A and B are shown apart, each in its own frame.
Chain A
Amino acid sequence: MHLPKRGVAVIGSALMAVAVLSSAPASAASHTVRPAANQVCQSSQLCLYQNKDLNANGGSYWAFGYNGYAHDQWIYVGDGGNDQTTSFINYRQISSAVAKNEFDISRATCARIVGDAGHITEFIDYNLSDNVWPDRTKMNDTISAFMLMSTEWNLDCGEVFSYPSG
Chain B
Amino acid sequence: MRLRGDGTHREGAAPVKASIGLVLCGVVAVAAACGAGHPPPAAFTACAPGAGPGVTATAAGSARHLALSLAARQAEPACATRPGATVRYRLVNFYSIVTNPRTRYGFTEFATDTRDVSVQPSSAARVTIVRAVPARFAVPAARARWLAAGRPALPGTLRAGQVIALPAGSFTFLPQGTLPYRQAASLPASAAAVAALIEGPPGPQAGPRSPVTVVLRQLGYLLAIAPLTPAARSAAWRAVAALPGLRNCGPAADLAGRNGTGLCAANGGHVTELVVGAAGSVLAVADRLTAPDSAYPTVPPGTVVQSATFIAGS
How far is it, in angstroms, between the C-alpha of A83 and the C-alpha of B126 when the chains are bound? Answer: 28
B102 beta carbon closer than 8 Å to chain A = yes
Q: Specify the main secondary structure of chain B where it touches its partner.
A: loop
Query: A166 contacts the other chain (Cβ, under 8 Å)?
Result: no
CB closest chain-A residue, reference B299: A80
- A 43-85 contacts with B by CB, 8 A: 43, 45, 47, 50-53, 55-65, 67-69, 75-84
* A126, B200: Cα distance in complex, Å: 18
Given A34-B164, A35-B158, A40-B157, residue A60 in contact with residue B8 (CB < 8 A): no
0/1 interface trace, chain B 284-314, chain A, CB 8 Å (1 if under): 0000010001111000000001101000000
> Is A79 in contact with B99, judged by CB distance below 8 angstroms?
no
Contact partner of A60 among B97, B200, B268, CB < 8 A? B97
**Which of B48-56, B205-213, B256-264 is the interface stretch?**
B205-213
Contacting pair A80 B167 (CB below 8 A): no
| Contact of A107 with B by CB under 8 A | no
Question: B153 to A42, Cβ gap below 8 A?
Answer: yes
Q: How far is the CB of A49 from chain B (nearest CB, A)?
A: 10
A32 touches B293 (CB 8 A): no
Q: Bound complex: CA of A4 vs CA of B6, how far in Å?
A: 32
B164–A138 CB distance below 8 A: no
Q: Chain B CB within 10 Å — which of A35, A104, A132, A141 has the most?
A: A141
Main secondary structure of the interface of A (DSSP, over half): loop
* Residues of chain A from 129 to 162 with CB closer than 8 A to chain B in the complex: 129-130, 132, 136-138, 140-142, 144
B175, A51: Cβ atoms closer than 8 Å: yes
Q: B162 at the A/B interface (Cβ < 8 Å)?
A: yes
Chain B residues positioned under 8 Å from A78 (CB to CB): 101-102, 293-296
Contact (Cβ within 8 A) A25 B155: no
Q: How far is the CB of A95 from chain B (nearest CB, A)?
A: 19
Across-interface contacts of B170 in A (CB, < 8 A) = 25, 53, 126-127
Q: How many Å from the CB of A116 to the closest CB on chain B?
A: 17
- Return chain A residues, CB-CB under 8 Å to B208: 83, 142
Interface size of B by Cβ–Cβ distance < 8 Å? 70
Query: Residue B126 contacts which of A27, A64, A76, A82 (CB distance < 8 angstroms)?
Result: A27
- Contact partners of B206 in chain A: CB under 8 A: 137-138
Q: At the interface, yes or no: B178 with Cβ under 8 Å from chain A?
A: yes
CB pair B204 A136 closer than 8 Å: yes
> Which of B172, B207, B210 has the most chain A CB within a 10 Å cutoff?
B207
Question: Which one, A47, A57, A76, contacts B221 given CB within 8 A?
Answer: A57
A38 to B153, CA, bound (A): 12
0/1 per residue, B34-56, Cβ < 8 Å to A?
A: 00000000000000000000000
Chain A, Cβ-Cβ closest to B309: A58
User: Considering the chains assembled together, what is the distance between the CA atoms of A146 and B171 in angstroms?
Assistant: 27
Q: Given the complex, which residues of B lie within 8 Å of A80, measured CB to CB?
A: 98, 101, 269-270, 289, 293-296, 305
Check if B98 sits within 8 Å of A81, measured CB to CB: yes
Does A40 lie within 8 Å of B156, measured CB to CB? Answer: yes
Q: Spot the interface stretch: B62-70, B88-96, B187-195, B272-280.
A: B88-96
The 6 closest A-B pairs by CB, nearest first: A78-B295, A80-B295, A25-B167, A68-B100, A51-B175, A58-B93
List 4 additional contacts besides A38-B156, A68-B105; criterion CB under 8 Å. Answer: A25-B167, A51-B176, A52-B177, A127-B172
A selection of 19 A-B contacts at a CB cut-off of 8 Å is A27-B124, A29-B126, A29-B165, A33-B164, A34-B164, A40-B158, A59-B175, A60-B98, A65-B99, A76-B2, A78-B295, A82-B2, A83-B1, A129-B177, A129-B178, A137-B204, A137-B205, A164-B205, A165-B205
Q: Which residues of B contact A (CB under 8 A)?
A: 1-4, 6, 8-9, 91, 93, 95-103, 105-106, 115, 117, 124-127, 149, 152-158, 162-168, 170-172, 175-178, 200-201, 204-208, 210-211, 214, 221, 268-270, 289, 293-296, 305-306, 308
